[in-house]
Amino acid sequence: MAKQTVVITGAAAGIGRATALEFARAGYLVGAFDIDETGLADLAREIRAGGGEVSTGLLDVTDAEQWDARLAEFAEVASHRLDILVNNAGVLYSGRFEEIPLAEHQRMLDINVGGVVIGSRAAFPYLQATPGSQLVNLCSASAIYGQPELATYGATKFAVRGLTEALELEWRRHRIRVLAVWPLFVNTAMTGNLDMRSADSLGIKLTAADVAKVVVKATRRSHRMLAKVHYPVGRQAGAMMVASRFSPTWLIREINRRISHT
Ligand SMILES: NC(=O)c1ccc[n+]([C@@H]2O[C@H](COP(=O)([O-])OP(=O)(O)OC[C@H]3O[C@@H](n4cnc5c(N)ncnc54)[C@H](O)[C@@H]3O)[C@@H](O)[C@H]2O)c1
């Protein structure tokens, strides 16, 4: 039987990189894509040094033609199977809504939402042709309740949440499982210069490796039987998700107001 395969976007750094390493250790052939060529070369060296298999390629997730080309190339080395696509690439710009340049709002929408839509659509024929395939989207705890100083970023993650829930139902007929992974703040370049008070209140407690472990575990066969859609990462995100289900909206709103000092 051909090796199981995974394609990961934004794989050159942070959560994507850690996820690529974790899947390689688990025996997958990894398709690692990013706009950062140097980061990809460094990742490939590390995977190969550990005895793993990887194929890298330049991919801007907002470019549909690049998606088609990279996936077709990967199919050639992967015996035409795509077991898992991880839509991980994302960008964040925090701060007061009116002070964030419009181009940065647009960039978040294009990459965090557009990239997931284009990528999921481009990968569909490969996922459909691979029995037991899965689509994993990187969501965020900021999709639980709108976050001050993170309004557009949070809105993009609400969109990812909606896409995940809809496709989870829609793609059952194709036997493609769809799920989302929900970290709170993770110690990566993305949170290096966060300009927002809720990060100060809650702290940055997760590592990229913590998230990668949840992604790999969530996609294991045993977890498929449970058919969960949303996977929080860490105790804080888990508690926030449970609280959001069982608390009245006014309370969630008040907690968010206090956390963000607004
Ligand atoms: N870091 C956090 O606190 C956190 C929390 C929740 C969710 N997330 C989500 O996890 C994902 C990864 O975040 P991270 O913290 O690892 O970020 P990161 O900034 O460390 O890495 C992001 C990677 O995406 C790549 N990238 C950026 N634009 C791209 C594009 N147009 N096409 C392809 N690749 C592109 C970058 O080159 C980089 O390698 C994102 O979707 C993010 O929203 C992060």
Give the residue, 227 or 172, on which the prediction is more confident: 172
- Domain with 167 in it: what CATH number? 3.40.50.720
The model's pLDDT over 146-157, given as tens digits with 9 standing for 90+, comes to: 999 999 999 999
Residue nearest to atom 42 of ligand 1 (CA): 90
Closest CA to 213 of 6, 14, 18, 3: 18
For all residues of the chain together, what is the average pLDDT? 94
Q: For the chain, what percent of residues have pLDDT higher than 70? A: 97
For residue 1, the model assigns a pLDDT of 65
The Cα 257–Cα 119 span in angstroms is: 35
pLDDT at 205 over 90: no
Sign of CA dihedral 148, 89, 219, 186: negative
For 205-232, what is the HEC assignment?
A: CECHHHHHHHHHHHCCHHHHHHCCCEEE
**Average pLDDT score over residue span 161-186:** 97
Query: pLDDT at position 226, please?
Result: 67
For residue 225, the model assigns a pLDDT of 64
* Highest mean pLDDT (candidates 130-134, 217-221, 231-235): 130-134
Q: What's the rounded Cα separation, in Å, for the pair 202 and 185?
A: 8
For the stretch 70-111, pLDDT in tens is 999 999 999 999 999 999 999 999 999 999 999 999 999 999
Q: Which pLDDT band, with edges at 50, 70 and 90, does 250 fall under?
A: confident
195 CB contacts (<8 Å, ≥6 apart)?
Answer: 94, 95, 149
Domain limits for position 53: 5-259
Beta-carbon-side half-sphere exposure of residue 37 (alpha carbons within 13 Å)? 1
Clarify whether 93 is annotated catalytic: no
Calculate how far, in angstroms, residue 250's C-alpha sits from the geometric centre of ligand 1: 32
pLDDT band at 262 (very low <50, low <70, confident <90, very high): confident
Ligand 1 centroid to Cα of residue 189, in Å, is 8
Residue 40 has pLDDT above 70, yes or no: yes
> What's the 188 CA to ligand 1 centre distance in angstroms?
9
- The predicted pLDDT at position 10 comes to 98
Do the beta carbons of residue 97 and residue 150 sit within 8 Å? no
> What is the CB < 6 Å shell around ligand 1?
9-10, 12-16, 34-36, 39, 59-62, 88-92, 111, 138, 140, 183, 185-186, 188-191, 208
> Where does the pLDDT of residue 198 fall: very low under 50, low under 70, confident under 90, or very high at 90 and above?
confident
Residue 242 Cα to ligand 1 midpoint, Å, equals 25
pLDDT for 199: 76
Determine which helix (DSSP H) or strand (DSSP E) holds 233, and give its type and residue range: strand 230-233
Residue 246: pLDDT band (50, 70, 90) is confident
Kindly give the residue spans of alpha helices, DSSP state H, lying in the chain: 14-25, 37-49, 64-77, 102-108, 115-128, 151-170, 197-202, 208-218, 221-226, 234-246, 249-259
Number of domains in the chain: 1
The residue behind tokens 């077991």 is 83
Whose C-alpha lies nearest to ligand 1, atom 31? 60
